[in-house]
């Protein structure tokens, strides 16, 4: 299959949950799915013909897949993303519109100018020039459009001519990385519980590293024999895929549990990474191989700031070394904002 | 392979129980500890051998005898190759200008101002747990303003072992109930030049040092 893009346009209410569900379903079906907006997805169909059949067939499969989860949609397929998008937006629910290669310009020509992403001022100016359809706009000379309207309108002009070269930027669906463990003998000591969690988090850290992502938020739930489940939600700063940093964060969370020992009789644990970020390489201190991890130091500062309140975690700066009063020599600022 | 996996698992479990880097190769540990010792560039280094990661040092003695100045020099030494330091300051007496004059990079010092004994322990514990700091200093302040004695740090002491940070405790009075490697500061005499008093000298000795070796520091007024 030559280059082909399928746009999926959801109909009806588009909630976050429905959006996520569709992204997950499409990502299972196709190799490269991008999010273009709420309820609007772009799917790159290159290389899928042998496995999934011709583009129309893929479109039908998308509609059928989403119908099974009761989400109505329309699919537009074209060689160029913009034409596919317009086709999807204008197709009836459950419909698949295929624009043949080379027919994009003709398909767009009959549409009103409102189909193009033009600002109001430019649209009015074009209307004054008697240009009211995409076709009439496409017929204008590219150089003249650039001269008169500037770069943004010139790019829209390329869209009208079916010359957009937009690539589908893949958006992976939200990954659910979680681990669960249960045991028969209740654990009442924090250190013992952390020992168990270490092996749980090791596996999750390996998954995160494999995906090239870092955990930003983790949610730990502990089933207890003598009390309702204990839930700890932690924001991990800086985001990390390092098991010991994740364990440290959970440890701090457990230390905040009120009570003498606090954790009760724990018989099971479930830890889930609820928010991730692309993993970024850690800046290594050139001359400080160990113990000079500023990110880590700032994470500790943030933690202490959250526990001790404002004005408790600060940095000093000498403002006037010759000040007559000692208190004017230095300025203090919060170490973390 | 199975033996290697079992060894890795055993090391990981020890790390969890006793802190990061509890188990390290002997040569690597010795080399790293040696590389990362902090020096004050005073004769104190001769009797202390520097302050290494995972070590505790208590500096005690009456007021204005140079404990804080020496602690600041130690922080400057810890920062020499880019480390961060935490200064726990319940008495709110951290002197930024004195720190700067001692060579401390203030941008790399987090000053924590706890209001209670529990908050001191929380801050010290947090500073020692991660690998963000090279040195954690707990300046308990003058005895009349102390909200915790050095003995209150007993729960933090086990965390120092295996930490990438050193713990320096500055206090007027030594710990009575816990055993800390302690250096006592005592005024040795006045310093004068051309018949005028210019400062005083302070003798620093390690508590329990049979050789009664001491460092002599000079303070200018």
pLDDT band at B17 (very low <50, low <70, confident <90, very high): low
Q: Does ipTM top 0.85?
A: no
Chain B nearest-CA residue for A202: B12
Residue A84 is predicted with a pLDDT of: 92
Q: How far is B106 from chain A (nearest CA, A)?
A: 6
Whether A308 sits inside 8 A of B123 (CB atoms) is yes
When pLDDT is averaged across residues B7-34 and rounded to a whole number, the result is 63
The Cα B33–Cα B35 span in angstroms is: 6
DSSP chain B: -HHHHHHHHHHHHHHHHH-TTSS--HHHHHHHHHHT-B--SSTHHHHH--B-TT-EEEEEESTTSSHHHHHHHHHHHHTTTT-EEEEE-TT----HHHHHHTT--GGGEEEE--SSHHHHHHHHHHHHHSSSEEEEEEE---GGG-SS-GGGGGGTHHHHTT-SSEEEEEESS--SSS---EEEEEEEEEEEETTEEEEEEEEEEETT-TT--EEEEEEE-
Percentage with pLDDT > 90 across chain B: 31
pLDDT band at B27 (very low <50, low <70, confident <90, very high): low
Chain A nearest-CA residue for B130: A296
Asked if the C-beta of B75 comes within 8 angstroms of chain A's C-beta atoms, the answer is: no
A-chain CB neighbours of B128 within 8 Å are none
A213-224, strands of its sheet edge to edge: A177-187, A266-278, A213-224, A230-240
DSSP A133: B
Q: How far is A149 from chain B (nearest CA, A)?
A: 50
Residue B199 is predicted with a pLDDT of: 82
Consecutive 10-residue averages of pLDDT for chain A (337 residues): 83 85 88 88 88 90 91 92 91 92 88 90 90 92 90 90 76 78 89 88 89 88 90 83 85 75 85 84 47 74 88 91 80 87
Whether B131 sits inside 8 A of A304 (CB atoms) is no
Asked if the C-beta of B5 comes within 8 angstroms of chain A's C-beta atoms, the answer is: no
Residue A286 is predicted with a pLDDT of: 45
Q: How far is A179 from chain B (nearest CA, A)?
A: 19
Residue B16 is predicted with a pLDDT of: 63
Residue B135 is predicted with a pLDDT of: 93
Whether B164 sits inside 8 A of A297 (CB atoms) is no
B-chain CB neighbours of A308 within 8 Å are 112-115, 119, 122-123
Whether A312 sits inside 8 A of B113 (CB atoms) is yes
Asked if the C-beta of B82 comes within 8 angstroms of chain A's C-beta atoms, the answer is: yes
pLDDT band at B111 (very low <50, low <70, confident <90, very high): very high
Average pLDDT of chain B, as a whole number: 83
Asked if the C-beta of B114 comes within 8 angstroms of chain A's C-beta atoms, the answer is: yes
Q: Per-residue pLDDT tens for B161-219?
A: 778 889 999 999 888 888 888 999 988 888 888 888 888 888 888 887 666 667 777 76
Smallest Cβ–Cβ distance between A294 and the set B84, B94, B113 belongs to B84
A-chain CB neighbours of B81 within 8 Å are 285, 287-288, 292
Query: Which pTM was predicted?
Result: 0.55
Residue B23 is predicted with a pLDDT of: 65
DSSP alpha helices (H): ranges in chain A? Answer: 16-29, 49-52, 55-68, 81-90, 104-109, 120-128, 134-138, 142-149, 151-160, 190-211, 243-255, 294-308
Residue B32 is predicted with a pLDDT of: 57
């Amino acid at each position: 299959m030559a280059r082909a893009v399928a746009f999926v346009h959801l109909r009806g209410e588009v909630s976050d949950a429905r959006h996520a569900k569709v992204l997950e379903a499409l990502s299972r079906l196709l190799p490269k799915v991008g999010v273009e907006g709420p309820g609007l997805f772009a799917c790159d169909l290159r290389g899928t013909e042998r496995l999934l059949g011709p583009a129309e067939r893929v479109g039908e499969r998308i509609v059928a897949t989403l119908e099974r989860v009761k989400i109505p949609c329309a699919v537009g397929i074209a060689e160029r993303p913009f034409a596919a998008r317009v086709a999807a937006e204008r197709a009836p629910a459950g419909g698949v519109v295929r624009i043949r290669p080379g027919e994009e310009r003709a398909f767009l020509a009959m549409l009103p100018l409102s189909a193009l992403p033009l600002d109001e001022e430019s649209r009015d100016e074009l209307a004054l020039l008697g240009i009211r359809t995409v076709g009439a706009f496409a017929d204008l000379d590219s150089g003249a459009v650039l001269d008169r309207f500037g770069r943004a309108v010139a790019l829209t002009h390329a869209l009208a001519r079916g010359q957009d070269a937009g690539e589908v930027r893949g958006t992976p669906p939200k990954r659910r990385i979680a681990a669960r463990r249960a045991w028969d003998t209740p654990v009442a000591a924090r250190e013992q519980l952390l020992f168990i969690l270490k092996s749980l988090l090791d596996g999750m850290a390996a998954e995160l590293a494999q995906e090239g992502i870092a955990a930003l938020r983790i949610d730990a739930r502990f089933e207890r024999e003598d009390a309702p489940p204990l839930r700890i939600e932690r924001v991990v700063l800086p985001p990390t895929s390092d098991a010991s940093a994740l364990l440290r964060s959970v440890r701090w969370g457990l230390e905040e549990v009120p009570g003498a020992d606090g954790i009760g009789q724990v018989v099971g644990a479930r830890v889930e990474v609820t928010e991730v970020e692309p993993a970024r390489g850690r800046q290594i201190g050139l001359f400080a191989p160990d113990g000079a991890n500023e990110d880590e130091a700032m994470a500790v500062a943030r933690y202490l700031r959250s526990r001790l309140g404002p004005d408790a975690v600060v940095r000093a700066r000498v403002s006037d070394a010759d000040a007559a009063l000692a208190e004017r020599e230095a300025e203090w600022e919060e170490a973390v904002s | 392979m199975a033996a290697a996996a079992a060894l890795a698992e055993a090391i990981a479990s020890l790390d969890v129980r006793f802190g990061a880097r509890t188990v390290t190769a002997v040569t690597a540990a010795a080399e790293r500890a040696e590389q990362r010792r902090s020096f004050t560039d005073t004769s104190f280094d001769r009797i202390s051998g520097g302050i290494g990661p995972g070590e505790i040092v208590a500096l005690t003695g009456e007021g204005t005898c140079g404990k804080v100045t020496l602690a600041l020099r130690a922080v400057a030494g810890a920062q020499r190759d880019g480390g961060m330091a935490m200064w726990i300051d319940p008495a709110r007496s951290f002197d930024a200008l004195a720190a700067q004059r001692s060579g401390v990079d203030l941008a790399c010092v987090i000053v924590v101002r706890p209001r209670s004994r529990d908050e001191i322990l929380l801050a010290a514990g947090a500073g020692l747990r991660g690998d963000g700091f090279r040195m954690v200093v707990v300046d308990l302040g003058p005895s009349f303003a102390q909200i915790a004695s050095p003995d209150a740090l007993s729960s933090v002491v086990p965390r120092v072992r295996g930490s990438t940070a050193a713990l320096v405790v500055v206090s007027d009075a030594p710990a009575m109930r816990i055993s800390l490697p302690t250096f006592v500061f005592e005024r040795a005499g006045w310093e004068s030049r051309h018949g005028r008093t210019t400062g005083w000298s302070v003798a620093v000795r390690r508590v329990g040092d049979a050789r009664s070796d001491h460092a002599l520091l000079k303070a200018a007024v």
